[in-house]
Amino acid sequence: MVSLSPIPSSIFRPSLRAAAGAGLVAVLAALTPAKAGDPTSKTLGFAVTTFNTAMYESRFMDECPQGINATNDEFWWRGLSKEERGRLTNNGDMTQIARQHIANHRGPNGEDICQVPTAVKDPPLYTVRGKLAYGMKLDGTDDGKDTPKSCKHEKFTGVDGTPAIDNQLYRVLGCVYGWRSIGHIETAANGHRQTNGLGMILIEVSGVDDARNDDDVTISFYRSVDTFTFGASASPLPYSTYRIDYDGEKPRYGDSIKGKIVDGVLKTTVPGDVKLPFYANQSFQTMQLMDTQIELKINADGSAADGVIGGYYSTQQLWEYIGEQGWQPTGLYTCPGIYAAIQKLADGHKDPKTGECTSISSAFKIKTVAGFIKHRDGGDKPNKIAQAQ
């Protein structure tokens, strides 16, 4: 891992700062040549600074009429007599954090119920009951009916009014405190990504003829081996250079999907399966996001972009992340309850033999800063466009 030393904002890329008034989208496009295709086309580069499970949260939590879910620690505590509580917690002097590892081993034979979530049966998880969500229409239906590839499920209406949105991951986690906007799960994850550089996602948009409107571009996803450069406000600065992570002679990541730019908004035209580097709460995995779509609004000056990326997330991978975060984070949610809800509400990639779905529709809100994405000298072969299965 190579770390770039912070550069004072007063001297950071002065040529770009001076060009801000003329529109940095044009500057970025002019300075970043395309790797392949039309030699007059350009590329745009972005580094993802924030990657959150997309949560629509109303002011009075109307989407969670039953309230917020109890935690592993609460279920353990409720199951003890007063005498047992005193004996196991030093007569009540043990802090909640200190006892969470005890609470997690509440299986009948001392099993860690985040490693073996079927060891106990908690009450059903409180799930989202609201009608609005962030996300995309992934299954091709208007009503979430059962299909050869998907399981029957309830649809959402998009926050912007778009009908038939699929986001069962939000339905599962929307009433779990740790995943909401002020919860520790997402806050800690983004803090770790920004400070240690692990799991940094790069988004490269190539074949761009017009940075505000272009009906045919290619969107590629990579992992960076360089960390962010921070400004005086402790926020990542735009226009740093990020080198792509390679495995031998090829990028470790690099899946691509087709898209377009409409009035400065990058959108998918042909969904595809992509692999993304994912690091959060001491856990690292190659996220397999299937039928991926993206909608990213590029700032008028080109210095940043934010939006939503969505697709089907493997239920096995999702549980590997949720169940293996360690005793401290997992003590603050109910592992058996979440595990059971994931299996019940999964809606994608139906197994033809069992009829059960093996993935769950998901959406993630992302923020990015513009950056220069550096391929190895000599360039790479054109990326293979990922296809949805």
pLDDT at 280: 84
Selection from 194-203, 228-237, 244-253 with the highest mean pLDDT: 244-253
CA 367 to chain centroid: 11
pLDDT at 379: 56
pLDDT at 197: 85
pTM of the entire structure? 0.87
| Cα–Cα distance, 50 to 286 (Å, whole number) | 17
Q: Helix, strand, coil proportions of the chain in percent (round to 5)? A: 20, 30, 45
HSE toward the beta carbon, residue 208, CA cutoff 13 A: 28
Closest CA to 387 of 254, 309, 270: 270
| Cα–Cα distance, 236 to 46 (Å, whole number) | 12
Please name the helix (run of DSSP H) or strand (run of DSSP E) that holds residue 84, with its range, or none: helix 82-88
- Residue that is written with structure tokens 């080109």 in the block: 302
pLDDT at 155: 98
In the predicted model, what is the mean pLDDT of residues 336-364?
97
Residue 256: is its pLDDT beyond 60?
yes
Residue 21: is its pLDDT beyond 70?
no
| Cα–Cα distance, 250 to 378 (Å, whole number) | 12
- What six digits make up the tokens of 306? 């934010």
pLDDT at 378: 55
Single-letter amino acid, residue 389: Q
Residue 2, classed as helix, strand or coil, is strand
282-325 pLDDT, tens digit each: 888 999 999 999 999 999 999 999 999 999 999 999 999 998 87
Question: Where in the chain are the domains?
Answer: 29-66+123-374
Mean pLDDT rounded to a whole number for the chain: 87
